[in-house]
Structure 1
Amino acid sequence: MPFSPVETTRLYHAAINALDFEALAGFFAIDAVYESSGIGEIAGQEAILDAFKVYFASYPDQVAEDDLIEELSPQSARSVWRLVATHRQTGEVSRRSGEEVILFDAAGKILRVTVQDRDAS
């Protein structure tokens, strides 16, 4: 089966929603970069996974949904998403939406994720 950036993005997001860090590690290239308007740039597979673990320790009930996943090129996809999460200690509810562009290498591993929030509350 040929590589599909849309299907791989769906599987990647499913691993995030399941908090399956072992599966998440398999999606990222060793030298991947994760860039978000909220946290800046994180370089390297291990650092990205560590950041996910820290975030989900604070927001373990996050529910994220994709409104759209589209192919931008044979090696990239764009998703439009929204999420709701409650901070474990403060009880503060966070509602966010935004979009992300994912660039994959020839082996189908994530090279770069660029996240841009649209709004947050």
Structure 2
Amino acid sequence: MPFDPVAAAARFHAVIGDLDFEAIDDFFADDATYSSGKVGGLKGRADIMAAFRRYFAEYPDQVAEDSLIEQVSARAARAVWSLRATSATTGCPLVRQGEETITFNDQGKVTNVDVTDF
């Protein structure tokens, strides 16, 4: 059965939504990269997971929704999303919309996430 990057991206977002850090960690390749205007560039699963843990400690109530996930290549999908969350520190709401391209390797592990906020 051929790899389906749309299904893989949907599963990836589902474990993030569940705050299942073990499953999130398992999605990333050891040498994965993650880039976003909000967090800059991260390299390696350990740095990416540390950033995820910091973010979700600050925004533990995040609710995200994909309005579109589409295949862009045999190993990549583009997701358009929106999210709402509340800062645990300030109580201020966070509302974001954007897109990300998620690239997977031959083992189905995430090798790159490139996030752009709208």
CA distance in 1, matches of 2:74, 2:113: 16
Could you say which residue in structure 1 is the equivalent of 2:44? 44
CA offset digits 1:66-104 (Å, max 9, x no partner) = 000000011000000000000012110010000000111
State the SS of the aligned residue for 2:13. Answer: helix
> How far off is 1:106 after superposition?
1.1
CA distance in 1, matches of 2:91, 2:37: 23
> How far off is 1:60 after superposition?
0.1
CA offset digits 1:4-63 (Å, max 9, x no partner) = 100000000001010000001111000000000111101000110110000000000000
Give the alignment of 1:1-121 within 5 angstroms.
1-118=1-118
Q: For residue 2 of structure 2, what is the amino acid of its counterpart?
A: P
CA distance in 2, matches of 1:40, 1:90: 22
> How far off is 1:2 after superposition?
2.6
Runs of at least 5 residues in structure 1 that lack an aligned partner in the other structure: none
> How far off is 1:107 after superposition?
1.1
CA distance in 2, matches of 1:16, 1:27: 10
Q: For residue 25 of structure 2, what is the amino acid of its counterpart?
A: A
RMSD: 0.7
Give me the identity figure in percent: 51
TM (norm. structure 2) is 0.98
Structure 1 outlier segments of 4+, above 6 Å:
none
TM (norm. structure 1) is 0.95
